[in-house]
Amino acid sequence: MTNFLTGALLRAALVAAAALACGGSMAQTQPQPLPTRGELLYNTHCIACHTTQMHWRNNRQATDLKGIETKVRRWQGVAGLAWSDADIMEVSRFLNITIYKYPQTGEILSRDVRR
Ligand code: HEC
């Protein structure tokens, strides 16, 4: 009787383990693209306000890449984040790719940005 119970428990545990392993490997076959640094920074520090701002996309203030960068620099300052030029560049790029879609020019959003 004890042996039978132990066997049944063992089988149940094995089935559960197999199901787990299976689920795990299935999740791995559909890898999500890694978010960029700019996306991570923006989603962490900036998105909370903007999702409640209905008009910021329609009544946009940033009218070119330089404008985006100026705004990003201003807002990271407002939030007291002390981002580096590289961080500001990454987030500006992320916003341009996802929202503004302005043509990307060579010299813009470089590290050589005006303060
Ligand atoms: C406290 C709330 C708040 C936080 C935090 C915040 N923003 Fe904003 N943001 C606003 C509001 C409100 C506006 C629109 C009004 C304005 O610009 O004065 C705006 C406007 C902007 C714009 C210009 C949008 C346009 O009109 O084209 C950009 C770019 C921007 N924010 C980027 C950022 C970035 C990057 C961060 C994170 C470092 C950030 N914001 C954090 C509230 C916030």
pLDDT, tens only, 6-27: 666 556 555 555 555 545 445 5
Predicted confidence at residue 100, as pLDDT, reads: 86
Q: In this model, does residue 111 exceed pLDDT 60?
A: no
54 and 27 housed in the same domain: no
47 and 89 housed in the same domain: yes
Q: Which domain holds residue 46?
A: 37-100
Task: State which ligand 1 atom lies nearest to the alpha carbon of 56.
Answer: 26
Per-residue pLDDT, averaged over 42-50, amounts to 90
Residue 90, domain member (yes or no): yes
Q: In this model, does residue 85 exceed pLDDT 70?
A: yes
**CA 68 to CA 100: how far, in whole Å?**
9
φ/ψ of residue 111, rounded to 5? -75, -15
27 and 63 housed in the same domain: no
Task: Report residue 99's pLDDT band, with 50, 70 and 90 as the boundaries.
Answer: confident
Mutational pocket test of ligand 1: of 44, 47, 50, the residue with most ligand atoms within 8 Å of the beta carbon? 50
11 and 55 housed in the same domain: no
CB of residue 47 inside a 6 A radius of ligand 1: no
**CA 95 to CA 34: how far, in whole Å?**
16
41 and 94 housed in the same domain: yes
CB of residue 72 inside a 6 A radius of ligand 1: yes
Q: In this model, does residue 70 exceed pLDDT 70?
A: yes
| Residue nearest ligand 1's atom 21 by CA | 71
Per-residue pLDDT, averaged over 40-48, amounts to 93
Residue 110, domain member (yes or no): no
Task: State which ligand 1 atom lies nearest to the alpha carbon of 91.
Answer: 35
Ligand 1 centroid vs 26 CA: distance in angstroms? Answer: 39
What contacts 69, CB < 8 A, 6 or more positions away? Answer: 88, 89, 92, 108, 109, 113
Predicted confidence at residue 14, as pLDDT, reads: 54
Q: How many domains does the chain have?
A: 2
Residue 76, domain member (yes or no): yes
Instruction: Note the pTM of the prediction, 2 decimals.
Output: 0.71
Predicted confidence at residue 114, as pLDDT, reads: 41
Range ranked top by mean pLDDT from 32-36, 87-91, 101-105: 87-91
